[in-house]
Structure 1
Amino acid sequence: MFACAVLATTGATAQQGTQGVRVPVRFSAVAQDLDRGLSTPLRITIDRWSTDQVQEKLVNVLMTQGENKLLDALQGAPKVGTIGTTTSLAWDLHFARQMPGEDGGTRIVLGTDRPIAFSEQWNSARTLDYPFTVIELHVNNDGDGEGTLSFATKVIPDAKNHTVVLENWGTQRVRLTQVKREKS
């Protein structure tokens, strides 16, 4: 598990201003699953940033009503972009925020529910307790960087620190390498 200020980041964001990454924007990346030794090319499209109001609503729902209600609220949030492999249909993203990175670049946090396979649902697999996907990108001013993808994740509120703790189903998050902003 690791602590993450995914939903609890307010104030210092550069959502619509002149700093940070302007939308719409597309990124390509290579997802490296270290548990299984697999690599897959990804495409990430961000059409717009989530508003402060959406972020505050999601934080409030998580802190007061829990993870299941957060899933409902996230699924009901407007689509902000997509993520997918180069050989599959894209999956809608419902949360996208950016903030200044520690190195002068930009930190981008994306969130959504995750696709649930029929067999997973039918068998009531334990993985159903991990319904979220959280992506974090760190890009420099040229749009190049790296990141992580937490595919099957629980989001646990830490009200004391006003953050969330992400618990992954697998032993490691998926590393995103060769992150590049695509030129229009």
Structure 2
Amino acid sequence: MYPKTHSLTAVVVTACLVVAALVSPAAAQEPAARFYGLLVNMQSEYPGQGTTPVNIVVNRWSTDDEQERVTTTVLEQGPKALLSLLGKMPAVGSVAPIGGVGFNVPYATVSRSPDGLEHILILSDRPMSFLERWYGGRSTDYPFLLIEMTIKPDGNGDGQVIVAGRLSADKFNKTLVIENLEIQPMQLRNLKREQ
């Protein structure tokens, strides 16, 4: 009876080691980029009232094919088709207030300039409340959320968040153009790249 217990234990331990070896690489995979900063609402009545610490995680950057699809969709079919496309694309990252519930983002790109600056663009359909959709005011014509960040080589930077935007495309440069519903975009201050 004693040898059977040892052989059963050996089988269980071996199975656990095999599972751990298979799971570890996926679990240990680090995000492509992680940022921490303060989201500042410049239209807040009182100083500090509109300040929220946020985490921005990019698990992977959008592929060249995904970037081409987004631009082509806006150029050829318009923003409503892009909204539908973004809803079908897999998440590439997430944005969340510290300690709060956030949302997934389906599109994130990075470009680097010769001086070492990283220019990051994150695009998502905008989370809207039930009441906003129900009443269907002017804000529902601005269904996109856009985050633009500039990160220096030392990992520090700043950016802005357009919470309610309407998209079009520049046909000549094949770039996205966003119109902001708000008077002034929210600011991302004290941005730090954590990796």
Q: Which TM class, normalised by the smaller chain length?
A: 0.7 to 0.9
Instruction: Report how many residues are paired.
Output: 162
- For 1:139, the equivalent position in structure 2 comes to 151
- For 1:173, the equivalent position in structure 2 comes to 185
Shift in Å, 1:95: 0.5
State the Cα deviation string for residues 55-102 of structure 1 (Å, max 9, x = none).
111111110000000011111111000001114212101111110136
Hey, which of these two has a bigger chunk of strand by percent? Answer: 1
Shift in Å, 1:47: 0.2
| 74-83 or 157-166: bigger deviation | 157-166
- For 2:123, the equivalent position in structure 1 comes to 111
Shift in Å, 1:106: 0.8
2:102 to 90, 102, 118: 90
- Gap regions ≥5 residues in structure 1: 1-21
Alpha carbons of structure 1 residues 138 and 102: separation in structure 2 relative to 1, 3 Å: farther
Higher relative contact order (CA 8 A, sep 6+): 1
- Gap regions ≥5 residues in structure 2: 1-29
| 83-92 or 57-66: bigger deviation | 83-92
RMSD: 1.6
2:142 to 112, 119, 130: 130
State the Cα deviation string for residues 146-179 of structure 1 (Å, max 9, x = none).
0111111000222244223211111011111000
Matched residue type, 2:179: E
The whole-number CA distance in structure 1 between the counterparts of 2:159 and 2:142 is 20
Q: TM-score, normalised by structure 2?
A: 0.78
Higher Rg of the two aligned structures = 2
2:102 counterpart of 1:80? no
SS in 1 for 2:66: helix
- For 2:19, the equivalent position in structure 1 comes to none
The whole-number CA distance in structure 2 between the counterparts of 1:54 and 1:39 is 33
